[in-house]
Structure 1
Amino acid sequence: MPLFRFEFHENVKTDNIAVELVDHEAALAEAKRAAGEMLVDSAIDRSDHAGWLIKVYNDSDELIGTIFRGDLFKMEE
């Protein structure tokens, strides 16, 4: 399976995590899931993480997507 790299940013780059997933769609879905957990955590600890985002890179180190906090509030079609 391909390896995808997730970069977590909160004003500055904070973490890199590599995960094997089936394809880029699965990687972006996993990034959205992780972003949802971050949103819940920020609500629980009452912190403002308005500037955070997650960048997703494929195994060729090409950026395939960016998940912003606001993306979680957009309605799915």
Structure 2
Amino acid sequence: MALFRFVFEEDAILDDITPVEFPDYEAAIDAATKAARETLIDAVIEGFDPTEWVVRIYNEPGELIKTVFIADLLRAKK
């Protein structure tokens, strides 16, 4: 298992999540996408515009492996 870190960028606010273990980078990306969807729902309920928000996924050495754009989740097919 490898460690992955998620960084939520909401406007100018960065929320860095403590590293979490996942079996591989695909599982980390799936978890980050799920977390982004939950953030999207919370943001809309609270009246925020999350279209510029992103979640960045970093591997253990600190390399960026994926950026999840909240706006893309709004456009995703159901």
TM-score strictly above 0.5: yes
RMSD between aligned residues:
1.5
Separation (CA, whole Å) in 2 of partners of 1:13 and 1:21: 26
Q: Post-superposition shift, 1:44?
A: 1.1
State how far apart, in whole Å, the 2-side matches of 1:44 and 1:22 are.
33
State the shift of 1:61 in Å. Answer: 0.9
1:75 paired with 2:77, answer yes
d(CA) in 2 for partners of 1:19, 1:13: 21
The equivalent residue for 1:54 is 55
Q: CA deviation at 1:43?
A: 1.6
Separation in 1, partners of 2:21, 2:70: 24
**Deviations, residues 17-68 of structure 1 (Å, cap 9, x unaligned):** 1111110000100110001001110121121122110000011111100000
Q: Which runs of 5+ in 2 are unaligned?
A: none
Aligned residues: 76
Q: How far off is 1:14 after superposition? A: 1.6
Alignment partner of 1:46: what SS? coil
Please give the alpha-carbon distance, in whole angstroms, between the structure 2 residues aligned to 1:71 and 1:20. 25
Query: TM-score, normalised on structure 2?
Result: 0.86
Any residues of structure 2 matched to 1:1-77 within 5 Å, and which? 1-17=1-17, 18-72=19-73, 73-75=75-77
Structure 1 residue runs of 4+, over 2 Å off? 73-76
**Unmatched segments (≥5 aa) in structure 1:** none
Overall identity of the aligned pairs, in %: 43
